[in-house]
Amino acid sequence: MPLINESYDSLPYVDTQVDEAGLAAARAAIDADIRTAGVNTADLHPALLPAAQYAPRFSDFVEREHARLDGNPASKLSGIDLTRYEDLEAPENTTPTSDEHRPELLAQWNRALKQAYTSAEFVQARLTQLGLLEKFGKNAWLVGNAQLEDVLRGVEAELADVRKQREEVEALRRAQQESVHGEIKTLEETWKKGVGRVLETEVAAEGLKQQILERRRAGAV
């Protein structure tokens, strides 16, 4: 009774190989179904098209930004204000009476000082980052490479283990299927004989029914 308790999704090691005629019939049925569905197999999936034929799709916001840039190629993206990092233009020199007579000149100097402070902070932070990169960048890069190598070795070991498990499962599957190969063939032959006997019984019953009808007709005449 081992076969009763066993269930296989497929039996590639014991199933009878499909002959060329059966394979051709299956392909013809598949082609007919594709034609019925209206699928053109000559057209490639968009993901398989060459880059020259690929048309990307963007959101409405991105499309409007592209249109703006196309309309004015000299324009720049306005997401980041870069003017604070440009060279500063100093306003006119002040005079002892600027506070009273030219307050707008003092406002210009205040804006210039704020921009100068911003640029100085940016440059100072940039120098700090470059100094840290020069001092620790090489070691950080080497440590990062070593960590990636450890990850790679772990992945390779896991891949080797999965491949080994797959080979073991395939070997076990082959052994199990081959161990019940004889039983499968016996049950298949028994099933075929049972179906054949059922058909023979149905044919004999139909023949007997025809004989009874003929005798009734003869008796009625």
Chain position carrying tokens 């450890």: 150
Q: Which pLDDT does position 80 carry in this prediction? A: 66
Stronger pLDDT, 199 or 11, i.e. the higher one: 199
φ, ψ (nearest 5 deg) of residue 180: -110, 15
The average pLDDT across 128-149 equals 94
Instruction: Tell me if 106 sits within 8 A of 98, measured CB to CB.
Output: yes
With 70 as the cut, is the pLDDT of residue 78 above it?
no
Q: Is the pLDDT of residue 6 over 70?
A: no
pLDDT at 97 over 90: no
- pLDDT confidence bin for 56, thresholds 50/70/90: confident
Per-residue b or e along 179-206, where b marks 16 or more CB atoms closer than 10 Å to that residue's CB: ebeeeeeeeeeeeeeeeeeeeeeeeeee
For the segment 195-217, the average pLDDT, to the nearest whole number, is 92
Beta strand extents in 100-212 (DSSP E only) = none
pLDDT for position 120: 87
d(C-alpha 128, C-alpha 136), whole Å: 12
Which tens digit of pLDDT belongs to each residue from 145-199? 999 999 999 999 999 999 999 999 888 888 888 888 888 889 889 999 999 999 9
Average predicted confidence (pLDDT) for the chain: 83
Higher-pLDDT residue of 96, 23 = 23
Residue 100: pLDDT band with limits 50, 70, 90: low
Are 52 and 46 spatial neighbours (Cβ–Cβ below 8 Å)? no
**Which of 1-5, 42-46, 134-138, 158-162 has the weakest average pLDDT?**
1-5
Residues 14 and 184: beta-carbon distance below 8 Å: yes
Query: Once rounded to an integer, what is the mean pLDDT over residues 44-70?
Result: 78
User: Which of the pair, 118 or 85, is modelled with greater confidence?
Assistant: 118
Question: Diameter of the chain by CA atoms?
Answer: 144
Task: Look at residue 117 and tell me whether its pLDDT is greater than 70.
Answer: yes
What's the whole-model pTM score? 0.43
- The amino acid at residue 148 is L
CA distances to 23, 52, 59, 66, 198 from 63, rounded to whole Å, are 50, 19, 6, 5, 71
Instruction: Supply the pLDDT for residue 9.
Output: 60
